[in-house]
């Protein structure tokens, strides 16, 4: 493949020219970067033959040359949404933490939020111990590439028994005058009985078509309670691969809500490893692709130990020309007896020219478990539409009412009221344009 050849060559050039491995040497990351890059070189970008990426076509996206380690000199402070006022905030532009626009006033002093690279340089024990042990380079070329090329990144540490009393808004964006290829990286370590909710917010606007390869790793220790909202609201020419890899321990409660409303090609890899007995994970998603947009959610819930629960609900609305992919893997391994694992994916097609590929994959190796999965794809129910219309409600309003109710099941999982309201209104506005 021509593109792969040239892009790979350019990546290689960047990797050697910038001497990233050597620069990382003093923090002991040289080997880590080199191995990651070798892995990426061996695998290359996933093409159509790659089982996990077979519905995605990256080739046309990388036709124009991309700047790979962009350092923008004239950055502009982004405009934040209404709900930002209820949050702490950090701003990540082109993968780098921009301190002057962060808002950490009143942050409990025990909590560390800073540059990942600096944390590693300062030999932060937690960061050093965790880096490279969560997401695996071998499983996914995008992870390998992020490990090889990430620049600075973000490190968040919430120590034992500490509560982050407001959600942390991670505003992730790109800025520049050319096509960018950026590698934001976030490492979150939540100690025993730590509580936190994080909002990963992708919001790149008005920029030549660019590509973000984001990686967020979460390690949750015993009895930690972590909620992650993932709000994807990029312009229609921006593409994103967002990998979240979470490893959770005993008594942990881990919840994610992923809402994808913008972007050209958006791929979410959400991998949750239930790494101990008696923990639980809840995964929710909502997506609405239209007109040449592809939104792809790949989730993996890995039950390794007994007495764990997982529950997953992804719902989508696919408009004319839109393409949605859902692939939900649930592994229940041999020792994971007494597992409860439920998964459901629902899709509403708003046009004959809308595409959905949905594939639940339950692999169960234990015998004393309760597991189920379901998926449905269909049009809005004509009986419901007729009922509403027979009371004087216009077809357009009837549709909007049904779509709003449909989305609510996922949105109601968002506990931050202002974010909930913002997304509900945004979705309502989109539905009124249908």
Partner 1 sequence: MLKISNLYARVEEKEILKGFSLEVKAGEVHAIMGPNGSGKSTLASVLAGREDYEVTAGEINFDGKDLLELSPEDRAREGVFLAFQYPVEIPGVSITNFLKTALSEQRKYKGLPDMEPKEFLQRMKDKKALVEIDNNLTSRSVNEGFSGGEKKRNEIFQMAMLEPKLAILDETDSGLDIDALRIVANGVNRLKTPQNAAIVITHYQRLLDYIVPDFVHVLVDGRIVKSGGKELALELEEKGYDWIRKEVEA
Contact mark string toward partner 1, 108..137, x via CB under 8 A: ------------------------------
Looking up tokens 């692939």 gives 327
Q: Which of 291, 363, 386, 429 binds partner 1 (CB under 8 A)?
A: 386
Classify residue 118 as exposed, middle or buried by CB count within 10 Å of its CB (0-12, 13-18, 19+). Answer: middle
Smallest CA-to-CA distance from 68 within 11, 24, 116 is with: 11
Q: Which is nearer to partner 1, 42 or 405 (CB)?
A: 405
Rounded CA-CA distance 326/190 in Å is: 29
Tell the residue number behind the tokens 């390869």, with chain if given: 213
Compute the least distance from the CB of residue 397 to partner 1, in Å: 6
Nearest-angstrom CA–CA distance, 103 and 81: 14
Burial class (CB in 10 A: 0-12, 13-18, 19+), 425: exposed
Residues 397-416 that bind partner 1 (CB under 8 A): 397-398, 401-402, 404-406, 408-409
- Specify the residue, 365 or 387, whose C-beta has the smaller distance to partner 1: 387
**With contacts defined by CB under 8 A, how many residues of the chain interact with partner 1?**
22
DSSP code at position 209: S
Q: How far is CA 284 from CA 180, 304, 364, 406, in A?
A: 30, 21, 22, 13
C-beta separation of 368 from 341 below 8 A: no
**Residue 393 sits in the site that holds partner 1 (CB under 8 A):** yes
- Beta-sheet strands, E only, within 152-206: 154-158, 168-173, 181-182, 185-190, 195-202
Choose which of 106, 368, 392, 433 interacts with partner 1 (CB under 8 A): 392
Is residue 306 a contact partner of residue 334, using CB atoms and an 8 Å limit?
Answer: no
Q: Where are the alpha helices (DSSP H) in 88-227?
A: 116-121, 125-130, 141-149
Please count the residues of the chain: 434
C-alpha 192/C-alpha 210 separation (Å) is 38
Stretch that binds partner 1, among 25-33, 184-192, 341-349, 385-393 (CB under 8 A): 385-393
CB of 383 to partner 1, least distance (A): 5
Tell me how far, at minimum, the Cβ of 424 lies from partner 1, in Å: 12
CB of 393 to partner 1, least distance (A): 5
Please say which residue, 284 or 406, places its beta carbon nearer to partner 1. Answer: 406
365 is a site residue for partner 1 (CB under 8 A): no
DSSP designation for 414: -
In this structure, how many other beta carbons lie within 10 angstroms of the beta carbon of residue 77? 10
Member of 49, 206, 391, 433 binding partner 1 (CB under 8 A): 391
Give the range of 2-10, 139-147, 369-377, 379-387 binding partner 1 by CB under 8 A: 379-387
Angle between helices 2-17 and 141-149 (to 10 degrees): 30
106 is a site residue for partner 1 (CB under 8 A): no
Q: Which residue has the tokens 């998926």?
A: 375
**Segment near partner 1 (CB under 8 A), from 270-278, 359-367, 395-403, 413-421?**
395-403
Residue 406 C-beta: closest distance to partner 1, Å: 7
Q: Which stretch binds partner 1 (CB under 8 A): 32-40, 148-156, 360-368, 394-402?
A: 394-402
Q: Which of residues 322-361 bind partner 1 (CB under 8 A)?
A: none
**Closer Cβ to partner 1, 49 or 391, answer by number:** 391
Q: In angstroms, give the least distance from the CB of 387 to partner 1.
A: 5
174, two tokens: 């790109």
Query: Does 314 participate in binding partner 1 (rule CB under 8 A)?
Result: no
CB of 372 to partner 1, least distance (A): 19
- Residue 394 makes contact with partner 1 by CB under 8 A: yes
Write out the residues near partner 1 by the rule CB under 8 A: 381, 383-384, 386-395, 397-398, 401-402, 404-406, 408-409
């Amino acid at each position: 493949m021509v593109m792969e050849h040239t892009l790979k060559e350019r990546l290689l050039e960047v990797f050697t020219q910038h001497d990233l491995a050597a620069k990382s040497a003093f923090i002991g990351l040289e080997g880590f970067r080199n191995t990651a890059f070798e892995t990426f070189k061996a695998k290359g970008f996933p093409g159509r033959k790659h089982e996990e990426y077979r519905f995605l076509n990256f080739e046309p996206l990388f036709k124009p040359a991309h700047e790979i380690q962009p350092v923008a000199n004239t950055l502009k402070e982004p405009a934040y949404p209404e709900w930002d006022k209820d949050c702490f905030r950090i701003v990540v532009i082109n993968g780098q933490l921009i301190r002057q626009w962060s808002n950490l006033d009143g942050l409990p002093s025990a909590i560390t939020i800073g540059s990942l690279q600096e944390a590693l340089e300062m030999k932060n024990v937690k960061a050093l111990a965790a880096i490279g042990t969560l997401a695996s380079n071998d499983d996914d070329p995008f992870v390998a590439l992020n490990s090889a090329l990430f620049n600075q990144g973000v490190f968040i540490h919430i120590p034992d028994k500490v509560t982050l009393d407001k959600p942390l808004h991670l505003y992730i964006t790109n800025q520049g005058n050319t096509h960018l290829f950026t590698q934001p990286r976030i490492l979150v370590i939540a100690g025993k009985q730590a509580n936190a909710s994080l909002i990963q917010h992708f919001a790149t606007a008005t920029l030549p078509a660019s590509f973000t390869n984001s990686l967020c790793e979460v390690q949750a220790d015993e009895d930690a309670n972590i909620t992650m909202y993932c709000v994807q609201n990029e312009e229609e020419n921006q593409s994103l691969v967002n990998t979240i890899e979470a490893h959770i321990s005993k008594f942990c409660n881990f919840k994610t809500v992923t809402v994808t409303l913008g972007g050209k090609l958006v791929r979410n890899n959400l991998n949750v490893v239930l790494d101990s007995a008696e923990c639980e994970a809840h995964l929710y998603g909502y997506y609405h692709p239209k007109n040449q947009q592809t939104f792809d959610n790949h989730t993996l819930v890995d039950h390794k130990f007994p007495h764990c629960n997982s529950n997953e609900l992804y719902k989508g609305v696919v408009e004319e020309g839109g393409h949605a992919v859902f692939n939900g893997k649930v592994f229940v391994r041999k020792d994971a007896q007494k597992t409860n694992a439920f998964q459901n994916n629902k899709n509403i097609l708003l046009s004959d020219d809308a595409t959905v590929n949905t594939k639940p994959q339950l692999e169960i190796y234990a015998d004393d478990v309760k597991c189920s999965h379901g998926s449905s794809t269909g049009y809005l129910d004509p009986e419901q539409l007729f009922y509403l219309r027979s009371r004087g409600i216009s077809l357009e309003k009837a549709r909007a009412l049904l779509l709003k109710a449909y989305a609510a099941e996922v949105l109601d999982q968002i506990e931050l009221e202002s974010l909930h309201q913002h997304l509900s209104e945004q979705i309502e506005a989109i539905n009124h344009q249908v």
